[in-house]
Amino acid sequence: MADNTMNARVSWHEDMTFVATSGSGHQVIMDGDSPGKAPSPMEMVLMSAGSCASVDVVSILQKARQDFSECYCELSGKRADSTPKVFTDIHIEFVVVGKNVSESHVERAVKLSADKYCSVAKMLEASVNITHSYRIEEA
């Protein structure tokens, strides 16, 4: 049986700055109270949802042999007014830039990511309303 355990270490650096090290050795700096110094943990959650979904969408579009040169998502997260200020709503809009990109393929890729593949979004959706949209831009 495969070991599905992931590990990480988060170390306090200075002030409210922390260095997170993944089990694979990659590092990310986060900051709890200094805008502009590093992303906050909640910004990292938002970016993680977008990154996870983007991996799915790009992979699905590549397998469908779509001719695109760029794919990105823009995220908007609304947080609760009171502490702990969790996300209540997240909207993810995908933008695919390419030549003759099929709308049905993009729609399918976004839907599959949302409904089946994106583990970060699937984990969050139990308590967060997550919506998706997309647009296609001709290269």
Q: Is 139 helix (H, G, I), strand (E, B) or coil?
A: coil
Residue 35 is predicted with a pLDDT of: 73
User: For 35-71, how does the pLDDT look when each residue is reduced to its tens digit (9 = 90+)?
Assistant: 778 999 999 999 999 999 999 999 999 999 999 999 9
Q: Where are the domains of the chain?
A: 1-38, 41-138
- pTM, whole model, 2 decimals? 0.93
| Confidence grade of residue 8 (pLDDT, cut at 50, 70, 90) | very high
Q: Is 73 helix (H, G, I), strand (E, B) or coil?
A: strand
Residue 30 is predicted with a pLDDT of: 96
| pLDDT for 85 beyond 90 | yes
Q: What is the DSSP string of 20-52?
A: EEETTS-EEEEESS-TTTS--HHHHHHHHHHHH
What Å distances lie between residue 27 and 11, 19, 55, 70, CA to CA? 11, 7, 20, 26
**Average pLDDT of the chain, as a whole number:** 96
What Å distances lie between residue 137 and 99, 100, 104, CA to CA? 8, 9, 14
User: What CATH number labels 1-38?
Assistant: 2.20.25.10
Residue 50 is predicted with a pLDDT of: 99
User: For 101-126, how does the pLDDT look when each residue is reduced to its tens digit (9 = 90+)?
Assistant: 999 999 999 999 999 999 999 999 99
Fold designation for 41-138? GMP Synthetase; Chain A, domain 3 (3.30.300)
| Confidence grade of residue 139 (pLDDT, cut at 50, 70, 90) | very high
